Structure 1
Amino acid sequence: MQRRKFILWGGQTALFSVAGLSSMANLNPLQYSSFLNLTSEPLAKELEKLIPKLMQEAKIPGLSIALVRNGQLSWSKGFGVKDQLSKKPVNPNTIFEIASVSKTVFAYAVMKLCEKGIIDLDIPLVQYANIGFLDNDPRINLITARHVLSHRSGLQNWRSQDDPIKLHFDPGTDFLYSGEGYYYLQSIVTQLTGKVNPNECGSYEGDVKVCASDIGDYLEKNVLRPFGMNSSGYVWTEAIGKDQALPHDPNGQLITKPNQTATDMARYAAAGGLLTSANDYARFIIGLFSPKENDPFILNKKRMMEMVRPHIKLREEQKIDGASSWALGWAVQERPEGNVILHSGGQTGFKSLAMVSLEKKSGFVILTNCDNGAYVLNNPKVEKVLSRLFE
């Protein structure tokens, strides 16, 4: 099994002011599989002029963007190409690796398991399954789902030969962004809801052995498909490959990476494994605006509010993407006019950003297929335009 490493992108991304919006009719994103009759988006012309220029400056081959305004998709567009060899154009349905933005979808799935009573946010995970994770430190017995989702487990981001897996502080007492924490919680979810194939295994960072599981199938069935994210997935398929953007280095040159397997996803699905498009992720954003009671897939309002409320204030040196605090699966910027939740993502050849105002029912997602993607995502000119989405 070929090693596959997913790397957190922790670049600082400016956040945008939120103000009142005029009332518009809401659409139910769970009842349709494609967007029709897009509303006129006043920011479109400015972004269509600005984005290609920035992409050219940074040698970014492809980008896809979707804007949500007042509970519905207001505009989406692809720029550039899927890869420098085929030169096939990007469109809003092009599939990208969204890296750590995947954590927002996994967190939603965990919150639904909590709502169903299958797991509790505050019961130590070892009480659900003892998978032999960090047996040499008894503090592992303290880690809960809440700790993991808010990055307070004490585990580092990813282990390595030089940095073996360990707890850096008592669980719940501090903040440390952790892909390993999400891997641990994902492993518990798999024990509770799925199965592992012991005959299909691989070795990953720090020589950790991981065997294939059906976690991708579980997340597709319980989050992606109910939200109408019908083109998205975790394990690579030919259908995904037909619409997939490929990764590129800082010089805009194609990077060769292996396709995602069930074994890879047993390690990375929760932390960074989602393959999705701008349009599909927009469906997820829109679904956040419509909590439901007694629905098999959609969170009720209580759980939804628990997921997005700030759980820990961040010190200056801990801040990611300019966030002031962290919720469950989301970073948070606390603003007088209403909180904004967001998440960035980055792994070899891909950079992404999603940002949402639940109060205003607006947000956006931007996906790029280049290591230089942050040049667009962090650009002050892009920030200035997108800030008006929340006015």
Structure 2
Amino acid sequence: MDRRAFLHGSGQVALSAWLAHYMSLIPTGASARRTVYDGEQLIPTLTKLIPRLMQEASVPGLSVAIVQNGKLSWQKGFGVKDATSREPVDGHTVFEAASVSKTIFAYAVLKQCEKGVIGLDAPLSRYAPSPLTHADPRFDTITARHVLSHTTGFQNVRSGDDPLKIHFQPGSQFDYSGEGYWYLQSILTRLAGRENPNDCGEYEAGVNICATDIDTFLKHNLLVPFGMKASGYVWNDDLARHAAHPHDVSGKPLPKSQPKATDAARYAAMGGLHTTSADYAKFLIEVLAPKPADAYRLNKRDHDEMLTPQIRLKEGEKVDDADAWALGWAIRQRPTGDIILHSGGQSGFRSLTMGSVQRKSGFVMLTNSDTGGNVLFHPALAAALNPLFVK
């Protein structure tokens, strides 16, 4: 399951170091008022800078979308979808979003909470039996809020050597957990979707997963209403036609996954989204500059709750160099305004999105390489993107 795991080890250290440098470039207080940023040069700068960084890092392909003042201001593909075919990345190229998928799922869950399908603070044991193989009374205290803020106590991903278990009292501390997202996804399917008991597969540590309609559910309840028609979780002809292929650190193409319904039932919430940078930017716009609430969009109260820090992160707990974690989003708190962000990484793909709610601006970048972080996390790129976050 390494390909589905969030960035760890040296990759996570590099990410945190980059983000620390990124944030250090954003001035605060009086210095922020004295600094002049040339936002008009943002696109020309990125157009020249990104290809150079890609060449230095041997990244075959990258797609970027820039949001400014609540609108998509620029989208561009660089490089190639596949080092073998040399087919260029374009506006339709679909990448694996990896853990950036979690933001989409979190939004969909909060809308179901708003509709009364599931309670944000209700014990999840009310809706489904425990996924644990042994009794643990702490399980009865886990809620959807705990899942979305990574405070369930579950580890990131179970394995044969590390079976699923609760490591601390839920709500008491932070520990990034894909397993929590999977369990909440299974509950959402039980309450608002369907399962096919005749189509099942075995995954980590022998867990048996049956196909569900999570792809259809998320398309109907979020992707299509938000205009994300190129995005999805289950392989189809459109994804096959536009998919970027993964590459390892040496630039060698890796096998491209073709997720089935059982794969989506296991990984959709954790990291199963296939999307374009322009599609994801449509979602980012709904977060940064929300339209009025409707059957798919959150009301103001729940939108604000989504971006409200739920737990402060201690030094040893920090992910994405965040100060806190909200519901689906990491939060970096600055005097100039909070920055929301999420990164993702799985075999052959790296992704990053950041946004300023105050400025209604941000970006999403998707790459098809294990070395994509060397572009996404480069200090020169951070400096170039500063106009999105500071006036």
User: TM-score w.r.t. structure 1 length?
Assistant: 0.91
How far is the alpha carbon of 1:141 from its aligned partner?
Answer: 1.1
For residues 339 and 214 of structure 1, the distance between their equivalents in structure 2, rounded to whole angstroms, comes to: 35
Matched, 1:178 2:180: no
How far is the alpha carbon of 1:92 from its aligned partner?
Answer: 2.8
Aligned residue in 2 for 1:334: 333
How far is the alpha carbon of 1:166 from its aligned partner?
Answer: 0.7
For residues 376 and 134 of structure 1, the distance between their equivalents in structure 2, rounded to whole angstroms, comes to: 42
- After TM superposition, the structure 1 = structure 2 runs for residues 292-331 of structure 1, keeping only pairs within 5 Å, are 295-331=294-330
Aligned residue in 2 for 1:199: 198
For residues 219 and 94 of structure 2, the distance between their equivalents in structure 1, rounded to whole angstroms, comes to: 15
Aligned residue in 1 for 2:93: 94
Contact 2:348 2:369 in 1 (8 A): yes
Aligned residue in 2 for 1:388: 387
Determine helix, strand or coil for the equivalent of 2:198: strand
Distance 1:115 1:324, change over 3 A: same
Q: Which runs of 4+ in 1 moved over 6 A?
A: none
Contact 1:343 1:353 in 2 (8 A): yes
- After TM superposition, the structure 1 = structure 2 runs for residues 73-84 of structure 1, keeping only pairs within 5 Å, are 73-84=72-83
How far is the alpha carbon of 1:50 from its aligned partner?
Answer: 1.1
Question: In the TM superposition, what whole-angstrom CA distance separates every residue of 1:214-241 from its partner, at most 9, and x where no partner exists?
Answer: 1111111101001000110010111111
Aligned residue in 2 for 1:258: 257
* Structure 2 counterpart of 1:43, one-letter code: L
- After TM superposition, the structure 1 = structure 2 runs for residues 262-277 of structure 1, keeping only pairs within 5 Å, are 262-277=261-276
Aligned residue in 1 for 2:36: none
For residues 326 and 354 of structure 1, the distance between their equivalents in structure 2, rounded to whole angstroms, comes to: 15
Contact 1:147 1:172 in 2 (8 A): yes
How far is the alpha carbon of 1:5 from its aligned partner?
Answer: 4.4
Question: In the TM superposition, what whole-angstrom CA distance separates every residue of 1:186-226 from its partner, at most 9, and x where no partner exists?
Answer: 01100001111111111111111111111111111101001
How far is the alpha carbon of 1:53 from its aligned partner?
Answer: 1.2
How far is the alpha carbon of 1:131 from its aligned partner?
Answer: 5.3
Aligned residue in 2 for 1:167: 166
For residues 5 and 250 of structure 1, the distance between their equivalents in structure 2, rounded to whole angstroms, comes to: 14
How far is the alpha carbon of 1:129 from its aligned partner?
Answer: 2.2
Contact 2:102 2:269 in 1 (8 A): yes
Aligned residue in 1 for 2:208: 209
How far is the alpha carbon of 1:135 from its aligned partner?
Answer: 4.2
For residues 289 and 383 of structure 2, the distance between their equivalents in structure 1, rounded to whole angstroms, comes to: 28
How far is the alpha carbon of 1:132 from its aligned partner?
Answer: 4.3
Question: In the TM superposition, what whole-angstrom CA distance separates every residue of 1:332-373 from its partner, at most 9, and x where no partner exists?
Answer: 001111111000000000000000111111010000000001
How far is the alpha carbon of 1:41 from its aligned partner?
Answer: 5.6
Aligned residue in 2 for 1:29: none
Distance 1:133 1:192, change over 3 A: farther
- After TM superposition, the structure 1 = structure 2 runs for residues 48-127 of structure 1, keeping only pairs within 5 Å, are 48-127=47-126
How far is the alpha carbon of 1:93 from its aligned partner?
Answer: 2.4
How far is the alpha carbon of 1:77 from its aligned partner?
Answer: 0.7
How far is the alpha carbon of 1:136 from its aligned partner?
Answer: 2.3
Aligned residue in 2 for 1:154: 153
Distance 1:380 1:289, change over 3 A: closer
Higher mean Cα deviation, 355-364 or 287-296?
287-296
For residues 241 and 41 of structure 2, the distance between their equivalents in structure 1, rounded to whole angstroms, comes to: 32
Question: In the TM superposition, what whole-angstrom CA distance separates every residue of 1:142-182 from its partner, at most 9, and x where no partner exists?
Answer: 11000000000000000011111111101111110000000
How far is the alpha carbon of 1:4 from its aligned partner?
Answer: 8.1
Q: Give me the identity figure in percent.
A: 54
For residues 385 and 108 of structure 1, the distance between their equivalents in structure 2, rounded to whole angstroms, comes to: 29
For residues 131 and 104 of structure 2, the distance between their equivalents in structure 1, rounded to whole angstroms, comes to: 26
Between Structure 1 and Structure 2, how many residues are aligned?
A: 370
Contact 1:62 1:82 in 2 (8 A): yes
User: TM-score w.r.t. structure 2 length?
Assistant: 0.91
For residues 66 and 291 of structure 1, the distance between their equivalents in structure 2, rounded to whole angstroms, comes to: 18
Aligned residue in 2 for 1:229: 228
Contact 2:98 2:349 in 1 (8 A): yes
Distance 1:237 1:176, change over 3 A: same
For residues 138 and 291 of structure 1, the distance between their equivalents in structure 2, rounded to whole angstroms, comes to: 39
How far is the alpha carbon of 1:390 from its aligned partner?
Answer: 2.1
Contact 1:232 1:274 in 2 (8 A): yes
Identify the match of residue 5 of structure 2 among 4, 7, 10. 7
For residues 293 and 287 of structure 1, the distance between their equivalents in structure 2, rounded to whole angstroms, comes to: 10
Distance 1:61 1:203, change over 3 A: same
For residues 197 and 131 of structure 1, the distance between their equivalents in structure 2, rounded to whole angstroms, comes to: 20
Aligned residue in 2 for 1:219: 218
How far is the alpha carbon of 1:117 from its aligned partner?
Answer: 1.2
How far is the alpha carbon of 1:138 from its aligned partner?
Answer: 2.1
How far is the alpha carbon of 1:121 from its aligned partner?
Answer: 1.0
Higher mean Cα deviation, 113-122 or 287-296?
287-296
How far is the alpha carbon of 1:7 from its aligned partner?
Answer: 1.6
For residues 337 and 301 of structure 1, the distance between their equivalents in structure 2, rounded to whole angstroms, comes to: 22
For residues 292 and 377 of structure 1, the distance between their equivalents in structure 2, rounded to whole angstroms, comes to: 29
For residues 84 and 116 of structure 1, the distance between their equivalents in structure 2, rounded to whole angstroms, comes to: 46
Aligned residue in 2 for 1:288: 287
Question: In the TM superposition, what whole-angstrom CA distance separates every residue of 1:236-268 from its partner, at most 9, and x where no partner exists?
Answer: 111111111000000111001330111001000
For residues 135 and 218 of structure 1, the distance between their equivalents in structure 2, rounded to whole angstroms, comes to: 31
Determine helix, strand or coil for the equivalent of 1:367: strand
How far is the alpha carbon of 1:134 from its aligned partner?
Answer: 4.5
* Structure 1 counterpart of 2:4, one-letter code: F
Determine helix, strand or coil for the equivalent of 1:175: coil
Query: Which residues of structure 1 form unaligned runs of 5+?
Result: 21-39
Determine helix, strand or coil for the equivalent of 1:288: helix
Query: Which residues of structure 2 form unaligned runs of 5+?
Result: 34-38
